[in-house]
Amino acid sequence: MRRLARDILLMALATGVSRLLGLARMGAIANRFGASAAYDAFLIAFFLPNLLRGLLAEGALSTAFVPIYTGLHVRPDGGSRERPADAFAGNLLSWLLVLFPITVALGVLTAPLYVPFLASGFGTEKLSLAISLTQWIFPFVALMGFAAIFMGILNAHRRFFAASFAPVWFNVGMLVGVLGLAHAFPDAPIYGLAAGVLLGGAGQLASQIPALRRVGFRFHLHLFPVAPAIRTLARRMAPAVLALAVTQVNLLVDNKIASYLPDGGISALQYAMRLFQLPLGMFAVSIGTALLPRLSSAHTRSDDASFSRDLGDGLTLSGLVLLPAMAGLLILGTDVVRLLFEHGSFGPAETARTAGPLLAYTIGLLPYGLVFVLTRASHALGRTVVPVLASILAVGVNVGLDLALVGPLQETGLALATATAGWVSAGLLVLFLRRQVAWDRAFGRHTLPILGGTLMMAAIVFGLRALLGSAHAALVVFVPTGCGVAVLAGITRLTSLWGLVRGFGGAERGSRSDGESAST
């Protein structure tokens, strides 16, 4: 269990570095491009390559690849037989060397057909720019596809830090694009950002090669015979692709509707979404990563009591982190946008336009964090269809509310629809799991301390913000935030929450099976 905790800590550290660089990247983009037509066009151009990365690379492909590679690599008795695993990975990489160039060529050649659908509200000049940028960016799909397989091999060898740190180089490439390469295109600096995407993708791919060599992996080109494990991989990918595709429909619809708004609408949504995803990416992912092996182990042992307790504890930790984060962003969201983005081409008008969607997205912070945990509980139970059904219904709610709210509220209405859809998805998963396990007993006894601590923290943050008035943005963000975190930490230390925090991160409830599950 200590090794599991160490792995989670290393992954969290690497993810934290990546997220901080991501904020720096967004700040640099805001300074150079603001909320503009050019950045709108870039986001549409990046949408499909990024979507395919999630569906076919870092999402379904990597998720299905790791268990198969691990099963071939490790004997039941703990011995090693690297050749079958590496032969499978080499066979897969050989086929990807054939398939990815075809995919990229199709994406580049057909861009004039699908980009107008994605951005049907764009004018002629803006649409032409989006098509051209798409053709520049599309090779990113291949770079990330290979990077995902490299990441899967490293995770199977339990080299988590090297794999988790690789996305840092993507942010570095983007920063080079916006700060340096953009100057090479004086008439259209946004092409420098597109070049930065390719540079960052190449960096994420290349940065993993030294670690691959250290674990002994060597690539040998061979297409035939096709390894039986590749057919297994294809079968396992299918439901994962479906589940991920459903979740991406919300973003597609939001972007398509936002393309009819004045220039900068898609940009404002993107800036807001990045800030909204920061606490989710840093905390919800870490909690879910630590929780899944415990739930899987408890279900395998038919230990319903442990399953219920661990699920309740995971939901409680999510509430302990995300509910105060919701309150803090609702109070300080506008100041956070001003601090991070308001400089250069990003002025007060862009701040106001971004703050509205951020506050609306923030309403959905807690439910999306709970969805992350509840989805993993459903997978641990083997009920993989339930999250897909919940996502489908949430998409329907999102699309309906998008159409109803975009008129009166514009970008804020689209964000509010997304937040509401999160509550619908979380509610359905709660109803399902409540019938399966009595998780609410473990969750219920901590509800009052969390609510009380959040209210006290929010009151202090709100009071300090009011006292600071028109002070510098750094002061009005960091002083109330620091005091609020200190108050919440003190309340946690003095209540039953402290035992939960220590127990979840410690080794006393771990088991060998937990550690063994970590590799997947």
pLDDT tens profile 365-415: 999 988 888 887 787 776 767 787 888 888 899 999 999 999 999 999 999
Say what the pLDDT of residue 517 is.
Answer: 34
Q: Is the pLDDT of residue 455 over 60?
A: yes
Q: Is the pLDDT of residue 285 over 70?
A: no
Residue count of the chain, please give it. 520
Of 215, 232, 255, which closes a domain?
Answer: 255
Say what the pLDDT of residue 310 is.
Answer: 75
Other residues' Cβ atoms within 10 Å of the Cβ of residue 471: 12
- Could you tell me if 178 and 238 lie in one domain? yes
Question: Could you tell me where the DSSP H helices lie in 381-446?
Answer: 385-409, 411-436, 440-444
Q: Is the pLDDT of residue 1 over 70?
A: no
- Could you tell me if 170 and 58 lie in one domain? yes
- Could you tell me if 394 and 411 lie in one domain? yes
- Could you tell me if 348 and 451 lie in one domain? yes
- The number of angstroms, rounded, from the C-alpha of 364 to the middle of its chain's C-alpha atoms is 15
Gap between the Cα atoms of 160 and 519, Å rounded: 9
Say what the pLDDT of residue 512 is.
Answer: 35
Gap between the Cα atoms of 247 and 394, Å rounded: 9
- Could you tell me if 304 and 227 lie in one domain? no
- In single-letter form, the type of residue at position 110 comes to T
- Could you tell me if 143 and 75 lie in one domain? yes
Instruction: Give ∠ CA 372-374-376 in degrees, rounded to 5.
Output: 75
- Could you tell me if 184 and 114 lie in one domain? yes
- Taking 3-state DSSP, the helix, strand and coil percentages for the chain, each rounded to the nearest 5, stand at 85, 0, 15
Q: Is the pLDDT of residue 508 over 50?
A: no
Residue 298 lies in a domain: yes
Residue 391 lies in a domain: yes
Residue 169 lies in a domain: yes
- Could you tell me if 336 and 195 lie in one domain? no
- The number of angstroms, rounded, from the C-alpha of 453 to the middle of its chain's C-alpha atoms is 27
Residue 18 lies in a domain: no
Of 255, 276, 310, which closes a domain?
Answer: 255
The 3 state secondary structure assigned to 442-465 is HHHCCHHHHHHHHHHHHHHHHHHH
Q: Is the pLDDT of residue 341 over 60?
A: yes
Q: Is the pLDDT of residue 146 over 70?
A: yes
Burial of 321 (0-12, 13-18, 19+ CB in 10 A): buried
Dihedral sign for Cα atoms in the order 299, 300, 306, 312 = negative
- Could you tell me if 311 and 244 lie in one domain? no
Burial of 249 (0-12, 13-18, 19+ CB in 10 A): middle
DSSP symbol at 227 = P
Question: What is the domain count for the chain?
Answer: 2
Which of residues 101 and 8 earns the better pLDDT score? 101
Question: Stretch 413-431: mean pLDDT, rounded?
Answer: 91
Of 222, 238, 255, which closes a domain?
Answer: 255
- Could you tell me if 327 and 205 lie in one domain? no
- Could you tell me if 80 and 199 lie in one domain? yes
Say what the pLDDT of residue 160 is.
Answer: 67
Say what the pLDDT of residue 513 is.
Answer: 36
Residue 20 lies in a domain: no
Query: Any idea of the CA torsion for 93, 96, 101, 106, to the nearest 10 degrees?
Result: -160
Residue 116 lies in a domain: yes
Say what the pLDDT of residue 496 is.
Answer: 67
Residue 14 lies in a domain: no
Kindly report, residue by residue over 70-81, the tens digit of the pLDDT.
666 644 444 444
Question: Mean pLDDT for the chain?
Answer: 81
- Could you tell me if 333 and 230 lie in one domain? no
Residue 505 lies in a domain: yes
Say what the pLDDT of residue 101 is.
Answer: 92
Question: Stretch 240-262: mean pLDDT, rounded?
Answer: 79
Q: Are 169 and 204 in contact (CB under 8 A)?
A: yes
Domain that holds residue 514: 1-6+264-520
